[in-house]
């Protein structure tokens, strides 16, 4: 089957599209100083943004902000000061924090910046009519965002304008993207909160669980055939070969990385792949995407924080009893006896 894609190429923004002076002349308030919050605040400061306010509860993240030369305040106070609000706390906490600490303290004509499209895509935040909403979403963890900024290395990032009552939301969005180092090199890719959240949730609920299930069942079949746990797990992932394969795929192409494999490996993979129509997986994936994700069903469930905490704990308890997890722990205790946990 041949697929023809008639969609137009997406817009990609580079340094030359952005005016960093826009964000330099604003008060930027961070709601949260965790993974992304710290990295982006430091990058903004190094890009000449003088007025940065860190809003955080009194915890280890606030202590880290002090060590980094900031003077953290309450979330409410940070919101009251901010022309731009960087909402960088976990998705599952945003709705509660927004309702309790943010919503009633917002200045007129404020811009909201999110690094995850989840809460905007599923309309979980009650927004003022005059608020611009943009997304600047680095496609890597905060430490990587900071390290690559310092080393002047580009990294992938999604950007979007979700609401634009001011008419200047895109300029603000690109100014922030520039200031955190996201418009360097290959540039920042135009997207949307719906697209970012949909793809992210799809990877988490469809692609990666399927990959993990394949490893789980592969272990079960090989173990039942009498192969040793050490040999199975080394060949599957402890050797880090899958990480090398994915790195090659990222650098050179999903299929082109196969040229680094033996001819036997190439034939085994391609002959099986080309005869796997994927119908069952595709139908399963379509159900997950449309019935659980895009319908808002998952977001509605996940907004119940008590249910979410209990459900996650239950899933952890179940997976820790899986044979592959037990074998993994045993093998690691043998390999690293001084690092038992």
Alpha helices in the chain (DSSP H): 21-24, 35-46, 60-67, 75-81, 91-97, 118-121, 142-150, 169-179, 193-202, 208-224, 229-233, 241-252, 263-273, 279-287, 297-302, 305-319, 323-335
Read off the pLDDT of residues 90-128 as tens digits, 9 standing for 90 and up. 998 999 999 999 999 999 999 999 999 999 999 999 999
Residue with tokens 């949730």: 201
Read off the pLDDT of residues 43-98 as tens digits, 9 standing for 90 and up. 999 999 999 999 999 999 999 999 999 999 999 999 999 999 999 999 989 999 99
> Count of residues for the chain?
341
Structural domains in the chain, sorted by start: 12-191 (3.40.50.720), 196-339 (no CATH)
Mean pLDDT of the region 310-337: 92
Other C-beta atoms closer than 10 Å to the C-beta of 224 total 9
The candidate with the shortest Cα–Cα distance to 35, out of 186, 133, 138, 113, is 138
What integer best gives the mean pLDDT of the chain? 94
Read off the pLDDT of residues 257-270 as tens digits, 9 standing for 90 and up. 999 999 999 999 99
Amino acid 337: pLDDT: 63
Read off the pLDDT of residues 138-195 as tens digits, 9 standing for 90 and up. 999 999 999 999 999 999 999 999 999 999 999 999 999 999 999 999 999 999 999 9
Contact 66, 56 (CB under 8 A): no
Main-chain phi, psi angles of 69, to 5 degrees = 95, 10
The candidate with the shortest Cα–Cα distance to 64, out of 40, 90, 38, is 38
pLDDT band at residue 5 under the 50/70/90 scheme: low
Per-state percent for the chain, helix, strand, coil, to nearest 5: 55, 10, 30
pLDDT band at residue 289 under the 50/70/90 scheme: very high
Distance separating alpha carbons of residues 126 and 336, to the nearest angstrom: 50
Amino acid 54: pLDDT: 98
């Amino acid at each position: 089957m041949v697929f023809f894609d008639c969609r137009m190429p997406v817009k990609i923004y580079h340094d030359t599209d952005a005016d960093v002076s826009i964000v330099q002349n604003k008060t930027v308030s961070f709601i949260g100083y965790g993974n992304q919050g710290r990295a982006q605040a430091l990058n903004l400061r190094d890009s000449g943004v003088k007025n940065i306010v860190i809003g955080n509860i009194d915890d280890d993240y606030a202590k880290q902000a002090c060590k980094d030369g900031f003077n953290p305040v309450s979330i409410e106070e940070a919101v009251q000061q901010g022309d731009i609000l960087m909402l960088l706390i976990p998705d599952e906490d945003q709705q509660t924090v927004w309702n309790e600490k943010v919503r009633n303290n917002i200045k007129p004509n404020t811009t909201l910046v999110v690094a995850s499209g989840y809460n905007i895509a599923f309309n979980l935040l009650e927004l003022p009519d005059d608020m611009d909403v943009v997304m600047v979403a680095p496609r890597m963890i905060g430490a990587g965002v900071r390290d690559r900024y310092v080393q002047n290395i580009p990294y992938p990032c999604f950007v979007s304008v979700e609401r634009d009552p001011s008419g200047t939301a895109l300029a603000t969005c690109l100014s922030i993207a520039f200031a955190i180092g996201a418009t360097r090199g290959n540039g920042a890719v135009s997207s949307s909160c719906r697209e970012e959240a949909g793809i992210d949730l799809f990877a988490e609920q469809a692609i990666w669980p399927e990959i993990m299930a394949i490893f789980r069942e592969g272990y079960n079949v090989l173990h039942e055939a009498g192969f040793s746990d050490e040999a199975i797990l080394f060949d599957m992932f402890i050797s880090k070969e899958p990480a090398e394969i994915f790195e090659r795929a990222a650098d050179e192409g999903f299929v082109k990385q196969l040229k680094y494999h033996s001819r036997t490996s190439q034939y085994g993979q391609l002959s099986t792949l080309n005869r796997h129509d994927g119908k069952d997986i595709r139908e399963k994936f379509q159900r997950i995407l449309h019935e659980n994700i895009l319908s808002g069903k998952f977001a509605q469930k996940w907004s119940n924080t008590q249910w979410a905490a209990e459900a996650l704990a239950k899933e952890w308890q179940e997976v820790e009893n899986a044979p592959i997890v037990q074998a993994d722990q045993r093998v690691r205790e043998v390999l690293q006896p001084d690092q038992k946990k």
